[in-house]
Amino acid sequence: MIWDELETGLARLATEGLHRRRRVLDAPCGPAAVVDGQQVVAFCSNDYLGLANHPAIVAAACAAAERWGVGSGASHVVSGHLRPHEALEERLAMFVGRERALYFTTGYMANLAIVPTLVERNDAIFADRLNHASLIDAALLARAEHVRFPHGDMAALAERLEQSRARRKLILTDAVFSMDGDLAPLPELFALAERFDAWLVVDDAHGFGVLGPGGRGSIAHCDLPPSPRLILMGTLGKAAGVSGAFVAGDRRVIDWLIQRARPYIFTTASSPLTAAALLASIDLIEQGDDRRAHLCRLIERLRSGLADLPWSLLPSLSAIQPLLIGKNSAAVRLSEQLFQRGLWVPAIRPPTVPVGTARLRISLSAAHTDTQIDALVTALHDCAVNGSC
């Protein structure tokens, strides 16, 4: 029977240490979490600035619900584009210094919109091998040649671009890589895009709000120019603390997405209260230098405390701090031991990361305290010495 195959597949995942389980939270997003009835300190959220529960954002959402209701009623291109959506797009474009911006319900949808709308058969996509799953799926949907290059290897990318005879070329990359926490060589990528007349699409899911002057993201951090060939995707459910994503760039690119991007045209617009909440969030990001400075201090504190562990801490200066364990079972066991001690750190396994590189993904937030960081450092040292917590 066909469902027997599912039973076999699920059993195999459990045996290989790859079966995922969802935990139920009984508290709002934040370091102090209640999970499955247990109080824990969470190190697994992408709420990098601690804005998910900010009173100003909550107040903006409540006021917008009173004014606009909770549903948009249609897609943006029919009747679902309300004034808060328009105001958000204008604010985002100004914030990141691009001509126009387009709001999407999720970052996954934004990436699925960008790539297949700009390239197709007889074109070529040049993608970093560690790109996020949404970028990989976007490349497959485009039906263009999908050329992958070794992570961060600019010489290999240049060689592949040189050899390509594609009609149009598109370079596709994360800015901050979600499982390693390192920053892509954006200036070098932009130089290659200029040299080979290619689009450069940058997914700044984990840099927006955290890096750059005023939290404007990785492109601002690297001081890239506002070129028409440069397309920025930023998510708004991580450092911004709400949900959704945006694409920013040249006005012609944005208009083309509105006309041709299927994930934009054929989906109901998000709630106007979400857009209103995000308008409040952008103000907080812009004024958030103290939050970003505190986050940087926490990163330094954690890295210093974990420097002498038997497991490798990958070279990341971002809020994502991966601790490389190796075997799936070992990563899961260590994660469970920490959870029993009141520390929630997720084990990341294939296919999210390459086989043999299972890890703990420690995600820091400006809402964390020094005491919480020290508790995690102490627990990991105890596990390393004693084999258990």
Q: Which residue has the tokens 């790109």?
A: 131
Buried b (16+ CB within 10 A) or exposed e, 172-188: bbbbbbbbbbbbbbbee
pTM here?
0.94
Name the pairing type of β-strands 169-174 and 124-128.
Answer: parallel
The reply to whether 71 sits in an annotated binding site is: no
Give the tokens for residue 312.
Answer: 């490798």
**pLDDT tens, position by position, 69-116:** 999 999 999 999 999 999 999 999 999 999 999 999 999 999 999 999
- The C-alpha atoms of residue 47 and residue 247 are separated, in whole angstroms, by 20
Confidence at residue 10, expressed as pLDDT on a 0 to 100 scale:
87
- The C-alpha atoms of residue 286 and residue 219 are separated, in whole angstroms, by 15
Confidence at residue 352, expressed as pLDDT on a 0 to 100 scale:
87
**pLDDT tens, position by position, 134-183:** 999 999 999 999 999 999 999 999 999 999 999 999 999 999 999 999 99
Residue 333, number of CB atoms within 10 A of its CB? 17
The reply to whether 178 sits in an annotated binding site is: yes
The reply to whether 132 sits in an annotated binding site is: yes
Confidence at residue 75, expressed as pLDDT on a 0 to 100 scale:
96
**pLDDT tens, position by position, 235-246:** 999 999 999 999
The reply to whether 235 sits in an annotated binding site is: yes
pLDDT at 387 over 70: no
The reply to whether 181 sits in an annotated binding site is: no
Confidence at residue 341, expressed as pLDDT on a 0 to 100 scale:
95
Residues whose CB falls within 8 Å of the CB of residue 369, separated by 6 or more in sequence, listed in order: 31
Q: Catalytic residues, which ones?
A: 178, 206, 238
DSSP annotation of 138 reads: H
Q: Which has the closest alpha carbon to 104: 309, 243, 5, 256? A: 243
**pLDDT tens, position by position, 8-53:** 998 998 888 788 888 888 988 999 999 988 999 999 999 999 999 9
Please compute, for residue 146, the number of CA atoms within 13 A of its CA located in the half-sphere on the CB side.
15
pLDDT at 1 over 80: no
The reply to whether 54 sits in an annotated binding site is: no
Give the tokens for residue 140.
Answer: 């497959």
**Looking at the DSSP assignment, which residues form a beta bridge with residue 323?**
313, 360
Q: Which domains does the chain have, with CATH numbers?
A: 20-49+289-386 (3.90.1150.10), 55-286 (3.40.640.10)
Helices (H), the chain: 2-15, 55-68, 83-96, 107-118, 133-142, 154-163, 186-195, 218-221, 251-260, 262-265, 272-286, 289-305, 328-340, 370-386
More confident residue, 222 or 14: 222
